[in-house]
Chains A and B, each alone.
Chain A
Amino acid sequence: MAYISVKRPKFSLLDRLYVVELVKGLGITFKHLALSLVGKSRGKGDFSKEGVGVCMQFPEERWDARLPEYYRGAPTLVRGEDGRERCVSCQLCEFICPARAIKVTPGSVDENSSCAKQEKAPAEFEIDMLRCIYCGMCQEVCPEQAIFLSKEYLITPQDRKDAVRNKETLYRLGGTRKGLVNKWNQYK
């Protein structure tokens, strides 16, 4: 092991008393108080257009309508326009996930089903929302356009088990998505 010796700064008596730093900090607080009293709060211009005011009154007021196009919320699984569950359980999302939030159990598609050509589909697909860091790597890596980050940001599980979303929940949240490539049709 290599050691790096770090020199600690020397504090004077005044520093150690802490009073000066306390006053400095309170000064900032009082500065903002004074600014708001004369109606010059920071960021006032940005919010006034939205009709929110300086503070958003959460949870009565929500972010939902104000989220930008690129917002990354909870990942979900989607169905295509033909109703097919798009995921083929290739497990690339599980592999790429930096937080190891995804766990896929691969399975087969029933031979008599309408999407038998797809052969493979997840038997179970779990995302641990306590681990997920909303990075969007799963969406980026997916070769099947099956996983998308939604705009959902309110995730309040009651316990750890509740935080793990299963395949059924993920498809329910993802719904149907239009305009995706239909890879596994009969012509292919």
Chain B
Amino acid sequence: MLPKDAAAAEGKVNVQINGKWYRFPKGTRIADACNSVGAHVPCFCYHPKLSVAGSCRMCLVEQGMPPRLAPGATPQYNEDGYQTISWMPRAVIACANTVAENMGIRTDSKLTSEARRGVLEFLLSNHPLDCPICDQAGECKLQEYTADYGRGTHRFTESKTKKGKNLSIGPRVNLDQERCVLCRRCVRFMKEIVGEEVLGVVGRGTHNAIACYPGTELDSNYSMNVVDICPVGAMTSKDFRFKMRVWFLKSTPTIDVTNGTGTNINIWTREQQVYRITPRQNDEVNSCWMPDDARLAYKYINAPARLTTPLVRTDAGADQRPSTWDATIGLVTEQLHKCAPTEVAMIASARMTNEELYMVRALAKQLGITKLDIVPRTGEADDLLVSADRNPNSTGAKLILGKEGKGLRTIRNGVRNGSIRFLIALGEDLTSEEAGFTAEDLAGLDYLLCVSHSENATTKAADVVLPGVTFAEKYGTMINVAGRIQRLNKAIEPMGEARSDWDIYRSISQSLGCDCVNVIACPSPMAVLEQMALEFEPMHGLTWGNIGNEGKAIIETGVTIPLIEREKAKK
């Protein structure tokens, strides 16, 4: 049996790449095939999630096929069962061509390297070379490919074409037309993914430039994705403009917490400062994209409003003053012991991780509280990635606490009619619109204990405030609206003396006399997860390691993410 027949039986074809034979499924792009076996093909315009343009010519490779047979001739096979390859005298682009049976590709030949060098020379003929002031420097494909395949010197003596620099094309994106290599990824993204045609190419020849159509601007909630997909520094983020060079930043894979989709992201930090958030590819959750509002929702992490020490109000009406952890936990224990369980209510949050919710459940059990619920938070879903559920872990709250926010009204009424005298607010600002408490409600309480990462109206009214952490400072897991469990990773250390929330709840439970080993003996959120894996049926078999960076679908919720559904339908 010849290799071609063996491959055809699997629906595959035999392709020779740099002298070695591989098998790929029919219809694979040459670029994808080469990259998958480690023969790197440089691309500017090709993006796996967008249609193929084939405009940049960067991916030129040398290609060959068996010779066409004369009429009546039979194909000749060598001892390995392959036909000889006749190499074509000109290179072909790897992004717009698919593999075929007995095809040969060379990515390391003289023809290929000369083609790449030539393409780069033309791309650089009008490039302003302002890398020192360009935010893309360090992650710029043009920089990388020039270092890898370029010629290093410039042979053009003509002056470079002048185009628009530092143009504002939308509220969050800047355009530099001189740096552009005209790959049109941004144009295709806005047309194909977002469905708003605002970007186009104007001008002729060397004056070609990206621009917004007259009367429009790039103001979509997904506009900043063009900054990510731009291979050069033509599209830059206004928010990140001149903030920090990218080579100083460390990226930590984690997930977004602004809504129930659980978009996979990277947080970019230097020392204890968060500089930006970018999407991380996950074809089951967010593809390669993320909405702008989620991307910009990091400012509160390093804001001055962050709480850094426990705060205690010793006398009614006095100011809160900073305290130490040991003293504060002792005080809280003493105060909670005095409360009658029927008069206490606890408000948790679906913004907590599963591990925190588990500890909240243990704390409620220890206190004997039955009035416990979360704050539901809904908004308008867009037809792409933003979910109507604005809590990142509603599914987890439902699984672990069995709560969906239906009892919040009862607690609110209880506070107003005086049957609830003591309130514990964990990670929620009770005066927010969703929670619906007023400042008077809080002032009327006998005792208000609050755990929060930032100062807000609730912490100001509280008798004891314990400083928690934001999503960037903790490990944990969350379950998104589609029932997928995903990991949060710690990008920076907690601010000041703030502690991880799960640890705070555990300390209080322990101090209150909890003797359940599963709760008090947990050394880390990973251990809590293992405990939960034994206790909750959908989580069976889960460990921190086997969830992985991509997450794992564990619950059938029936909810889908529109953008992902559309992407799957296209295939």
- Could you list which residues of chain A lie within 8 angstroms of chain B, going by C-beta atoms? 88-92, 94-95, 106-108, 117-120, 143-144, 187-188
- Residues on A with beta carbons closer than 8 Å to the beta carbon of B131: 90, 143
Given A91-B248, A187-B159, A188-B128: A107 touches B133 (CB 8 Å cut-off): no
Q: Choose from B130, B166, B245 the contact partner of A91 (Cβ within 8 Å).
A: B245
Q: Is B159 within 8 A of A89, CB to CB?
A: no
Is B241's beta carbon under 8 Å from chain A? yes
Q: In the complex, what distance in Å separates the CA atom of A120 from the CA atom of B133?
A: 6
- Least CB distance from B480 to A in Å reads 36
As a 0/1 sequence over residues 243 to 270 of chain B, the CB contacts with chain A under 8 angstroms (1 = contact) are 1110110000000000000000000000
- Please state if B242 and A107 are interface contacts (CB–CB under 8 Å): yes
- Other-chain contact of B132, A90, A94, A108, A117 (Cβ < 8 Å): A90
Give which listed residue, A106, A117, A144, contacts B242 with CB less than 8 A. A106
B243: contacting residue among A106, A118, A188, CB under 8 A = A106
Tell me the minimal C-beta distance from A161 to chain B in angstroms: 20
B164-193 interface code vs A (CB 8 A; 1 in, 0 out): 011000000000000000000000000000
Contact across chains for B159 and A90 when beta carbons are under 8 A apart: no
Most chain B CB atoms below 10 A, which of A94, A106, A108, A117 = A106
A113 to chain B, nearest CB (A): 13
Q: Is the CB of A143 within 8 A of B245?
A: no
12 A–B contacts, CB within 8 A, in A order = A90-B131, A90-B245, A91-B244, A91-B245, A91-B248, A95-B245, A106-B242, A107-B242, A108-B241, A117-B165, A118-B133, A120-B242
A120–B166 Cα distance when bound, in Å, is 11
Choose one: B160, B242, B244, B248; the contact of A108 (CB below 8 Å): B242
Contact B128 A89 (CB under 8 A): no
When chains A and B are docked, how far (Å) is the Cα of A90 from the Cα of B134? Answer: 8
Nearest A residue to B135, CB-CB? A120
**Considering the chains assembled together, what is the distance between the CA atoms of A188 and B242 in angstroms?**
21
Q: Point out the residues of chain A lying under 8 angstroms from B165, CB to CB.
A: 117, 119
Tell me the bound Cα distance from A117 to B243 in angstroms.
Answer: 18
Question: A106-B243, A108-B242, A187-B159 given as contacts; is B133 within 8 A of A95 (CB)?
Answer: no
B132 to chain A: closest CB distance in Å?
4
Closest to A104 in B: B245
Provide the B149-165 mask, 1 if CB < 8 A to any CB of A, else 0: 00000000001100001
Residues of chain B within 8 A (CB-CB) of A187 are: 159
B392 to chain A, nearest CB (A): 33
How long is the Cα–Cα vector from A89 to B248 in the complex, in angstroms? 14
Total count of chain B residues near the partner, CB < 8 A:
17
Interfacial chain A residues near B133, Cβ < 8 Å: 88, 90, 118-120
Least distance between A183 CB and chain B CB atoms (Å): 9
Minimum Cβ distance to chain A for residue B104 (Å):
42
* CB atoms of B248 and A95 under 8 A apart: yes
A123's nearest neighbour on chain B, judged by CB, is B242
Q: Bound complex: CA of A92 vs CA of B243, how far in Å?
A: 14
- The CB with the most chain A CB atoms within 10 A, among B130, B131, B133, is that of B133
Determine if A143 and B132 form an interchain contact, defined as CB atoms under 8 angstroms apart: yes
Contact with A along B285-296 (1 / 0, CB 8 A): 000000000000
Complex CA–CA separation, A118 to B247 (angstroms): 21
- The answer for the CA separation of A156 and B520 in the assembled complex, in Å, is 56
Cα distance A90–B165 in the bound complex, in angstroms: 18
Closest-by-CB residue of B relative to A95 is: B247
Q: Do B128 and A144 touch (CB < 8 A)?
A: no
Residues from chain B with Cβ under 8 Å of A120 in the complex: 132-133, 242
Min CB distance, B236 to chain A, in Å? 11
* A-contact 0/1 string along B231-247, CB 8 Å cutoff: 00000000001111101
Nearest residue, chain A, Cβ from B243: A106
Least Cβ–Cβ distance between A124 and chain B, in angstroms: 13
Q: Whole-angstrom distance between the alpha carbons of A144 and B131 in the complex?
A: 11
State A143–B137 Cα separation when bound (angstroms): 13
When chains A and B are docked, how far (Å) is the Cα of A120 from the Cα of B136? 14
What residue of chain B has the Cβ atom nearest to residue A188's Cβ? B128
Query: In the complex, A118 Cα to B130 Cα: how many Å?
Result: 9
Question: Which residues of the other chain, B, contact A95 by a CB distance below 8 angstroms?
Answer: 245, 247-248
Contact A89 B247 (CB under 8 A): no
Q: Which residues of chain B come closer than 8 Å to A188, judged between CB atoms? A: 128, 160
From B131, B132, B248, residue with most partner A Cβ within 10 Å = B132
User: Which residues from chain A contact B132 at a C-beta distance below 8 Å?
Assistant: 88, 90, 92, 120, 143-144
Q: Which residue of A lies closest to B160 (CB)?
A: A188
Complex Cα gap A119–B242 (Å): 9
Residue of B nearest to A122 (CB): B242
CA distance A91 to B244 in the complex (A): 8
When distances are taken between beta carbons in the complex, the residues of chain A under 8 Å from B242 are 89, 106-108, 120
A88 to B166, alpha carbons, bound, how many Å?
Answer: 16
Q: Are A119 and B166 within 8 A (Cβ)?
A: yes
- Shortest B124–chain A CB gap in Å is 15
CA distance A106 to B244 in the complex (A): 7
CA A95 to CA B165, docked complex, whole Å: 27
CA A92 – CA B245 in complex, angstroms? 9
4 further A-B pairs in the complex, CB-CB below 8 A; given A92-B132, A106-B245: A88-B132, A90-B137, A107-B242, A119-B130
CA distance A14 to B244 in the complex (A): 64
Question: In the bound complex, how far is the Cα of B132 from the Cα of A117, in angstroms?
Answer: 13
Provide the residues of chain A in CB contact with B245, threshold 8 Å: 90-91, 95, 106
CB nearest to B242 among chain A residues: A106
- Complex: how many Å from CA A89 to CA B244? 10
A175, B451: Cα distance in complex, Å: 54
Centre residue among B130, B137, B244 by max chain A CB count within 10 A = B130
Q: Closest B-chain residue to A142, C-beta based?
A: B132
Q: Can you list the 5 inter-chain pairs with the closest CB atoms, starting with the nearest?
A: A90-B132, A120-B133, A106-B242, A91-B245, A88-B132
- A108 contacts across to B, CB distance below 8 A: 241-242
Report B302 CB to chain A, min CB distance, Å. 15
Residues of B within 8 A of A118 (CB): 133
Chain B residues with CB under 8 Å of A90's CB are 131-133, 137, 245
- Min Cβ gap A187→B in Å is 7
Chain A minimum-CB-distance residue to B247? A95
Complex alpha-carbon distance, A40 and B166, angstroms: 70
In the bound complex, residues from chain B placing their C-beta under 8 Å from that of A144 are: 132
List residues of chain A with CB within 8 A of the CB of B247. 95
In the assembled complex, how far is the CB of residue B207 from the closest CB belonging to chain A, in whole angstroms?
A: 18
A32 to B166, CA, bound (A): 70
Residue of A nearest to B132 (CB): A90
Residues of A within 8 A of B241 (CB): 108
Residues of B within 8 A of A88 (CB): 132-133
A91, chain B: closest CB distance, angstroms: 5
